[in-house]
Amino acid sequence: MATNDSARSYWATWHDAYDDPESDLTQRLIAVQHRLTDAIDQAPPGAIRVISACAGQGHDVIGVLKSHPRKSEVHTLLVESDDDNVRVARARIAAAGIPGVDVRQADAGNTGTYRDAIPADVLMFCGIFGNVSDEDVRRTVNNASRLCTPQATVLWTRHRRDPDRTDQIRSWFAEVGYEELAFDSPGPDRFALGTLRLAAPPLAYRSDLRLFTSGRNEGDAGSSRPLPPLAVQATYPSPGAAHCYECCGLG
């Protein structure tokens, strides 16, 4: 349980909702870990590069890698600007004994930050799209492939409270050559997770682009209110591939 909130940053206290197993943030975490595990499982043999922008305390990536059989093959860059979150993430990595994970305190919205970590096989934009402008979301979508390998997996999240922009974001990704593998959401007013595969050739890397400027919008922080049990629904382009999975005691 978090203590001494007055000495912690806003973005550090943002993570406190993970302490509540019924919060949207915790349920979203489980969904993200599920899709990240799938992406690592399905990656070709050899090194796997993972980049997480605005990684916070690294709950999603660290939670997967600490027990994943391929963790020694995964080279991960977690980018986070907040002092408290960087400190916590580094301590959690050390405690878990995970190799190959770098926490970089830097601006995640600047493509130059990723210069030595690209191209990514898995690119994560989790907790960002509800905290930046629509123009920044569109710019990030349009340029994300510059950080990717061909056929890379991209994970993104956004809350679905009014105005729900998730359908628009899904369309933007489709327009620039991504195939949607799954769209996980318990329903309106909750959270959404998109899982994509880059089907078009990636754009050339540029180190001088501004993807987004992070803001402070509680909309993507999730909610700590008690919620009824709900399964996270996964909708695929092919009806034959559709399925849903239960959220580990939350659904």
Domain assignment present for residue 150? The answer is yes
Domain assignment present for residue 13? The answer is no
Domain assignment present for residue 93? The answer is yes
Domain assignment present for residue 50? The answer is yes
> 147 φ, ψ to 5°?
-100, 5
pLDDT (tens digit per residue) in 176-204: 999 999 999 999 999 999 999 999 999 99
Q: Tell me how many domains the chain contains.
A: 1
Answer whether residue 131 shows pLDDT above 90.
yes
Domain assignment present for residue 234? The answer is no
> Cβ(153)–Cβ(67) under 8 Å?
no
Domain assignment present for residue 132? The answer is yes
Cis peptide preceding 45, ω within 30 of 0? no
Domain assignment present for residue 228? The answer is no
Q: Following DSSP, what letter does each residue of 133-186 receive, concatenated?
A: -HHHHHHHHHHGGGGEEEEEEEEEEEE-SSS--HHHHHHHHHHTTEEEEEEEES
- Domain extent for 147: 23-204
Q: Return the pLDDT at 233.
A: 40
Answer whether residue 17 shows pLDDT above 60.
no
Mean pLDDT within 209-238: 49
Burial of 243 (0-12, 13-18, 19+ CB in 10 A): exposed
Domain assignment present for residue 168? The answer is yes
- Model confidence at 153, pLDDT cuts 50, 70, 90, reads very high
Q: Return the pLDDT at 8.
A: 76
pTM of structure: 0.84
Q: Return the pLDDT at 39.
A: 98
CATH of the domain at 65: 3.40.50.150
Q: Return the pLDDT at 23.
A: 81
- CA–CA gap between residue 176 and residue 190 (Å, rounded): 26
Answer whether residue 22 shows pLDDT above 60.
yes
